Structure 1
């Protein structure tokens, strides 16, 4: 069972969840940053899936008090509030990393950040502004939300961007700008680009989106993103990979 981890940021109570193997301490850890819908069932299933690989997983609470918005009318102001105050946004992602690092199950020197949709944007922004992480995986992240200056990024992190060729929130121009910026910052990066793939392609509930021209589930692309992500995790943490193949 996951363990509740309460922490705070800017007067807001945050309620993260820690998934770990009983009795494990000092483990390589994934800081998982949720999409616009918060720590809902799909995100928690994703956390469990990563934990099954042998990682400790800290599911961050970005909205606070474990809010799980249900309607687009709720989501716009939440994302807009973060993008409109980037210092607050990045501080909130940093607070999640600090809360994760403070847990006894976690090796604070072996954190990797994985985010989906808004969480993917958050993971990239955390790295862009100097966040301490071994690696970042952005899966269908909104590249339209990113700021351009990567001069403060740490250069010892690996970056994987998994995105759809038909995602209007990650256009060809936005991808090119991000890649140019990461190259200029000296980062080791990779972009996996999937054909016939829109935004939020890993989430089966996207099949029922009222905006099918923007959002759509693509199981083949979802499987490819998972394979690429687990490959990178195995390269960053070979001890976990060896344990899984023992």
Structure 2
């Protein structure tokens, strides 16, 4: 059993023993494109609760994104692992992952519409307080949730984990409604110092409430237990960092608790 499978197994044990977290396959559409999502929530909670969107890495809507949705559900939220590529497409090679991600990034109007379709599905779920919506994302997904915040989507909190920072449309003053959190690996070669400086200057100009956390020694994809295997297989600078993973998730949890007064 690899480390990711073990992490998912350990993550799931409390769901059956201590709570009633359930997962549902869901389908939603943007135009003619079918989007395959995964919704997780604790069915034992008898009241509506905040909803959290989870945007996948460039590999696509996979088990990792779903596991994060389940973790959020165990914390008392309803979480939707979204599908930004359509038809549930997943990549098993960086060339395909880059192509899929590029198709979305090069058409941000479509990306925004797909994100909004996922948001509406989450808002309309029976367990969700429709005005309490946040979003998190990983790698490609981290950059994507930052873009959605920049474009004024009605979100309470946006958190990017090892995501890209350059903006297709820089934030304007008064546009960003969300509090923004960025968790970055200080040794991530894909995120340059100039990207960090430009991002911070952009947030300051737009008067956004934000935080930027750099984890010393952490590389790209530091939250994903499968990162080492991907890195070795494709000769990429990917590496799991258990401490950075734990600390960043703890910071997210604390911020969500503060926003939603749990």
On the 8 A contact 1:137/1:160 being kept in 2, the answer is yes
- Aligned counterparts of 1:70 and 1:121: Cα–Cα separation in 2: 21
Q: CA deviation at 1:228?
A: 1.0
CA RMSD in angstroms, aligned pairs only: 1.7
The unaligned stretches of length 5 or more in structure 2 are 1-21
**Structure 1 length as normaliser, TM-score?**
0.91
- Aligned counterparts of 2:142 and 2:165: Cα–Cα separation in 1: 9
**Structure 2 length as normaliser, TM-score?**
0.85
Change (3 A) 1:191 1:30: same
Larger deviation, residues 99-108 vs 197-206: 99-108
On the 8 A contact 2:151/2:169 being kept in 1, the answer is no
Q: CA deviation at 1:215?
A: 1.4
Local SS of the residue matching 2:239: coil
Local SS of the residue matching 2:42: coil
Q: Which residue of 2 aligns with 1:86?
A: 108
2:111 is equivalent to residue 95 of structure 1 = no
Change (3 A) 1:156 1:84: closer
Local SS of the residue matching 1:220: helix
2:262 is equivalent to residue 236 of structure 1 = no
2:147 is equivalent to residue 113 of structure 1 = no
2:168 is equivalent to residue 139 of structure 1 = no
The number of residues matched between the two structures is 238
- Aligned counterparts of 2:197 and 2:213: Cα–Cα separation in 1: 13
2:95 is equivalent to residue 50 of structure 1 = no
- Aligned counterparts of 1:233 and 1:65: Cα–Cα separation in 2: 30
Q: CA deviation at 1:79?
A: 1.0
Q: Which residue of 2 aligns with 1:243?
A: none
2:247 is equivalent to residue 224 of structure 1 = yes
Q: Which residue of 1 aligns with 2:41?
A: 20
Q: Which residue of 2 aligns with 1:242?
A: none
The unaligned stretches of length 5 or more in structure 1 are 240-246
